[in-house]
Structure 1
Amino acid sequence: MSTKPEAHHRKLERLYLSANVQQLFSGSSIEVSHSKAEIKLPVDSKYFHGAQAIHGATYFKLLDDAAYFAVASLVSDVFIVTSSFQINLLRPVNAGTLRAVGTVRSISKNLFVAEATLYNERGKEVAFGTGQFMRTNQPWESLEHYELKLNNKN
Structure 2
Amino acid sequence: MNHLENLKKMVTGEIPGPPVAQLLGFKVVEVEEGRVVIEMEASERLHNPMGTLHGGILCDIADAAMGYTFASTLADDELFTTVEIKLNFLKPIFDSKLRAEGKLIKKGTTVGLLECHVYDEKGSLVAHSTSTCMILKGNAEPKRVERGNGK
TM-score of the alignment, normalized to the shorter chain, above 0.5: yes
Across the aligned residues of Structure 1 and Structure 2, the Cα RMSD in angstroms comes to 2.4
List gaps (5 residues or longer) in structure 2: 144-151
Aligned to 1:124: 124
Q: Residue 17 of structure 2 contacts residue 27 of structure 2 at CA under 8 Å; is this kept in 1?
A: no
Q: Residue 39 of structure 2 contacts residue 98 of structure 2 at CA under 8 Å; is this kept in 1?
A: yes
2:26 aligned with 1:43: no
Q: CA deviation at 1:52?
A: 1.4
Distance 1:23 1:6 in 2: 20
Distance 1:116 1:108 in 2: 19
Aligned to 1:81: 81
Aligned to 1:107: 107
Aligned pairs, number: 139
List gaps (5 residues or longer) in structure 1: 145-154
1:142-153 matches, within 5 Å, as 142-143=141-142
Measured at CA, do residues 37 and 110 of structure 1 come closer, stay the same or move farther in structure 2, by a change above 3 Å? same
Measured at CA, do residues 49 and 101 of structure 1 come closer, stay the same or move farther in structure 2, by a change above 3 Å? same
Q: CA deviation at 1:7?
A: 2.3
- The 4+ residue runs of structure 1 with deviation greater than 3 A are 11-14
The amino acid across from 2:108 in the alignment is S
- CA offset digits 1:41-88 (Å, max 9, x no partner): 011212100121110100100111111111111103212111100110
Aligned to 1:10: 8
Distance 1:11 1:143 in 2: 16
Q: Residue 70 of structure 2 contacts residue 104 of structure 2 at CA under 8 Å; is this kept in 1?
A: yes
Q: Residue 112 of structure 2 contacts residue 133 of structure 2 at CA under 8 Å; is this kept in 1?
A: yes
The amino acid across from 1:46 in the alignment is R
Measured at CA, do residues 17 and 25 of structure 1 come closer, stay the same or move farther in structure 2, by a change above 3 Å? farther
